[in-house]
Amino acid sequence: MSVASPIWEMFLQKIDSATLLEHASLIYVRVVPKDLLPALTFLAKDDAFQMDYLKYMTVIDWEDHFELVYHLYSYRTNLECCVSVEIARENPIVASCHHIWPAANWHEREMYDLFGVTFSNHPNLQRLLLPVDWVGHPLRKDFVEQDHFNGVSTTRNNVVKLPSAREFES
């Protein structure tokens, strides 16, 4: 389906800040933070879209800002799209969508844990993968690992011995 189709025109009329891009037959939707939840809700609930499946969510650290990307699919209409929103890096806060897609609960916790993105109105926003006393968010580009964690060194020796050129040729 093309961005020129009538249903995408309807979406643009509903969400003022939205811009659309089509690449490799996938529609990319970009919105501003205040329109994120209305856009996601519209895509999930509107009869023309019925985006009933949140495939996954991810964060891109562009060093000066974060970009959140939501990959959506509809089993009913066979439509697929990506919705992205740019948020500040210093205080990354965005509305939770767990009430639209329950699986977002885990995706949002993972992004909180690894990038430090806060999802407002999330029912249980706490670390998912790392210990609760871990300091920082390890997938941020500015993350500096501590020398020790709970008395254990975080320095690792390189256990992989690569062959020299001479050993490789023989």
Write out pLDDT tens, residues 26-39.
Answer: 999 999 999 999 99
40-49, 56-65, 155-164: least confidently modelled range: 155-164
Domains of the chain are 6-169 (3.30.460.80)
Mean of pLDDT values over 125-145 = 93
The per-residue pLDDT for range 56-102, each reduced to its tens digit, is 999 999 999 999 999 999 999 999 999 999 999 999 999 999 999 99
For residue 153, list its beta bridge partners.
148
* Separation CA 72–CA 64 (nearest Å): 26
The per-residue pLDDT for range 100-119, each reduced to its tens digit, is 999 999 999 999 999 999 99
Query: What mean pLDDT value characterizes the chain?
Result: 92
* Separation CA 116–CA 113 (nearest Å): 6
pLDDT for 1 beyond 70: no
pLDDT for 156 beyond 90: no
**pLDDT reported for residue 157:** 78
Buried b (16+ CB within 10 A) or exposed e, 51-69: bbebeebebebeeeebebe
Phi first, then psi, for residue 14 (nearest 5°) are: -80, -40
**pLDDT reported for residue 121:** 96
* Separation CA 116–CA 67 (nearest Å): 13
Mean of pLDDT values over 137-163 = 83
pLDDT for 154 beyond 90: no
